[in-house]
Chains A and B, each alone.
Chain A
Amino acid sequence: MAEHVRIKAIYPPGHVRAPYYLRGKTGVIERDLGHFANPEQLAYHHKGDPKPLYRVRFTMAEVWGDNAENPADTIDAEVYDHWLERV
């Protein structure tokens, strides 16, 4: 059973890798990629803590609503665990 997750709708300043257009949107985990150093620390000359990284799949309908070209098309993006909420 697919695990549903929502990208946190938070908007800090500075270097983050969770795209704006996906924040607050719900998708399913496509695959677990393992742990990678946190870019939010690396960007400022800090050592990056290892963070779980997932590929999350969203439907165009979820991301763009009625403006979707084709609602069943998908967008996959890599999102760190600390940006995900389980739903």
Chain B
Amino acid sequence: MPHDHHDHDNLSPSGHPFRADNDEPLSYWQTMEIALREILVEKGHLTQAEITAQIDAMDARNPSQGASVVARAWVDPDFKAQLLADASTASRDMGFDIGPMHLIAVENTDTIHNLIVCTLCSCYPRNLLGLPPDWYKTRAYRSRAVSEPRAVLREFGLNLPDTTTLRVHDSTADMRYIVLPARPAGTDDLSQDELAKLVTRDSMIGVGLPRQP
């Protein structure tokens, strides 16, 4: 079998080393994964090359892609209008391969804050931001983000004023969501690339704000 682990010696997008997984005791579910994959390849339903390419494509997707989209919207009013009208097309126009994903961008303002959740499973804009953080898939987040979102935000260190309207978006069907955070004050002199570095994954889910310069 071709070796499809070629690029995982680097650090992950989160800055941690990838977990050494190949020397762990073999589990029942890992056995099923190997067996099922081999059978599908042998029967010609898919190829090992397709699997490798798909892993590489998913690894290439990470929050910095979303940060680039956000930073451009901060500096380019026409692009921002396009993003809010059709975030899928806007993301593709920036060169990001988001597959068939239907993306909606929701804008934070002085008076509105947006928060993304999937109460029924774990829908996430993975084709732009990469795979979701573990907490996003937990019972605690899925249960509470719709009924006590302000308490949830406080756990993430975000105290929302009463004067701000909070809009929670439950990804129940075919749409995926990204928050367009408000541009931090005091960033007038920063370039688009410098602005992108301020945009965190959490700020695009709505559980955080962009970094201050």
Interface residues, chain A, with chain B CB atoms under 8 Å away: 17-19, 21, 33, 36, 39, 53, 55, 63-64, 67, 69-70, 72-80
Contacts and interface: CB of A to CB of B under 8 A. Distances in A.
Contacts, number: 63
Given A17-B120, A19-B119, A79 B172 contact: yes
A21 B168 contact: no
A30 to B, nearest CB: 10
A69 B151 contact: yes
A78 B119 contact: no
Given A19-B119, A72-B165, A80 B173 contact: yes
Contacts of B151: 69
A18 B172 contact: yes
A6 B172 CA distance: 16
Contacts of A69: 148-151
Contacts of A78: 170-175
B168 A36 contact: no
B162 interface: yes
B172 A73 contact: no
Nearest to A78: B173
Contacts of B147: 21, 63-64, 67
A33 B168 contact: no
A17 B165 contact: no
A75 B146 contact: yes
Given A36-B173, A70-B162, A76 B119 contact: no
Given A53-B174, A78-B171, 10 more contacts: A19-B170, A33-B175, A64-B147, A70-B166, A73-B149, A73-B165, A75-B146, A75-B170, A76-B168, A79-B172
